Amino acid sequence: MTSTSTKCQKWVLAKTMKGAATLSHFRLEEEDLITDLQDGEVLCEAVYISVDPYMRPYAERCLTEGSMMMAEQIARVLQSKNPQFPAESLVLANVGWRTLTRVSDMTSLRQLPVMGDVPVSNALGMLGLTGLTAYCGMTHVCKPKSGDTVVVTSAGGAVGSVAGQIAKASGCKVIGICGSDDKCRWITQDLGMDAAINYKTDDINAKLQETAPDGVNCFFDNVGGDLAGAVICHMSIGGRAALCGAISLYSDDIHHPSQGLSIFRAIVAKQLTVQGFNVLNWFSSWDVVYRALYDLVTEGKLRSKEVIYEGFDKLPEAFLKLFQGGNLGKIVVKIQN
């Protein structure tokens, strides 16, 4: 019997990811995809694809030339031999930068949660992996208490903007650190954070002394390097730091870091708890966290901004934008309606 097939596009690494990511690291390829499904399988087409900073170190550590870029996408089920995922339903699919996917491993699929009036693309953002990361890092690692002073770096980005709002909803004073005046205005005027610091133009140490004179109780870091070191040196006795990311260092050789070693004296002297975390450890709590995030949205305590690129060909460009500091909130790529 002759199998039926169709064409699928995918983005792969054109060369091993070293140093700063550029368009030359990516190559668009076409693949013949067999569409004759076996029992339990589904065929999905991408609707939205997420781009996130973690993909940069993941690509360096785990991918080789010719490997497909990994990502989560919102996908539409075109064909199904699995009653859990019927045709025409929307799903969350951890299948990478590709237009079509024949899914045999159901652990890579999740049903799209109830979104209410929230745009469905937010299932990749504040009501998706982004929100899960921010919520678990803030509530389970930082453990803020009402009245605490909390600092969030990359506070105008996808995870940072959500983490700051979660701290604010917990009754904390929240100071966000961003890379532009527009981001500083957004996180204070629209998101309700108490103060903003522009790390490109402000004196970081002076601003931290001014906005957190009694020290920083909780620190949610997405940046690493000298900026993280400056905040850690302003923390109070017994402070807690959640290290979510280190975007400023992702182009460095992990075995020969250029920055960050001077913070150890402050960690010891101030008896700080500093914990790196991986959101994968909390996937089993997803249903509970989603309900908490959705409740914050309906109560008007959590909002998001999206930058949406249109077209599968825009994926590398959208990804590189993450490292250029120009985006407000979450970046997603819309593949089709």
Answer yes or no: do 107 and 137 share one domain: no
Give the predicted TM-score (pTM) of the model: 0.91
Answer yes or no: do 265 and 170 share one domain: yes
Structure tokens at 31: 């693949």
Name residues whose C-beta falls within 8 Å of residue 288's C-beta, 6 or more positions apart in sequence: none
- Classify residue 290: in a domain, yes or no: no
Q: How many CB atoms lie within 10 A of CB 111?
A: 11
Answer yes or no: do 171 and 104 share one domain: no
Q: Return d(Cα 59, Cα 254) in angstroms, integer.
A: 13
Model confidence pLDDT, tens digit, residues 40-87: 999 999 999 999 999 998 898 899 999 999 999 999 999 999 999 999
258: pLDDT strictly greater than 90: no
Answer yes or no: do 136 and 237 share one domain: yes
Task: Tell me the residue type at 307.
Answer: V
For the segment 25-30, the average pLDDT, to the nearest whole number, is 97
CATH code of 174's domain: 3.40.50.720
Average pLDDT of the residues of the chain: 92
For the chain, the domain total comes to 2
Strand 273-276: give its sheet, edge to edge. Answer: 195-198, 173-178, 149-153, 216-221, 235-243, 273-276
Q: Which pLDDT does position 128 carry in this prediction?
A: 94
The DSSP 8-state label assigned to residue 68 in this structure reads: B
For the segment 274-282, the average pLDDT, to the nearest whole number, is 88
Q: Return d(Cα 48, Cα 211) in angstroms, integer.
A: 39
- Classify residue 94: in a domain, yes or no: yes
Range of the domain at 148: 129-280
Answer yes or no: do 10 and 52 share one domain: yes
- Classify residue 289: in a domain, yes or no: no
CATH code of 75's domain: 3.90.180.10
